[in-house]
Structure 1
């Protein structure tokens, strides 16, 4: 179920960020063991400002259905952060955000 949106500076290759984020979410053990419900996509930004420097950035928003505990959300955030940190990106700010999706208003269709 999780929808993982990776926003990143365009100097980084989004393709190289997809697998670590996927593996981090999978490694959290909060979702199906085969990972079939994990969706990951990347959005590069060529226009951005990171403080007073031109540092690269990666921001991952993981959207999950409401109902997880704060401990589970912290575990998920830490797992994704560790997976990205394993890439050893130089001069790069990495942030992770876990966002609840309202169950009552969420709709889904699979064809």
Structure 2
């Protein structure tokens, strides 16, 4: 845990694999997770519409087991957003959201 899903327009100013690595490392640097538990992946979109002036978009969804404080989630989302800003254009739409996964219903093999 966590599962980090990066959804993005196909015309990124950075290679998707580089973005995956940078976000993966930023999540580790939050000191909330062990490196071997972080799972990061990216999904590229060819068809999308953005508001006026948008060049592209990146949205990061972070799914973590419930139990972290609001302050920890805020710190994580801010850290990931700052990482995105480093590698993206000012005209890109950037967003991050943290989702809790309930222990009682989460299953993995």
Q: TM-score, normalised by structure 1?
A: 0.90
Residues in 1 aligned to 2:89 and 2:30: alpha-carbon distance in whole angstroms: 22
Q: In the aligned structure 2, how far is the partner of 1:63 from the partner of 1:8?
A: 17
The 5-angstrom pairing of residues 58-97 of structure 1 reads 58-97=58-97
- List alignment gaps of at least 5 residues for structure 2: none
> Would you say how many aligned residue pairs link Structure 1 and Structure 2?
107
After the TM superposition, list the runs of 4 or more consecutive aligned residues in structure 1 that deviate by more than 3 angstroms. none
The worse-fitting range, judged by mean Cα deviation, of 88-97 and 39-48 is 88-97
The 8 Å contact of residues 65 and 101 in structure 1, kept in 2 or not, is answered as yes
Q: Any idea what SS the aligned residue of 2:37 has?
A: coil
Per-residue deviation, 1:2: 0.3
TM-score for the superposition, normalised by structure 2 = 0.91
Contact (CA 8 Å) 1:24, 1:82: kept in 2 or not?
no
CA distance in 2, matches of 1:3, 1:99: 10
Q: Once the 2 structures are TM-superposed, how far is the Cα of residue 53 of structure 1 from its aligned partner?
A: 3.8
Bigger helix share: 2
Where in structure 1 are there 5+ consecutive unaligned residues?
none
Give the C-alpha shift of residue 58 in structure 1.
Answer: 0.3
- Structure-2 separation of matches of 1:54 and 1:47: 14
Output the aligned Cα RMSD: 1.2
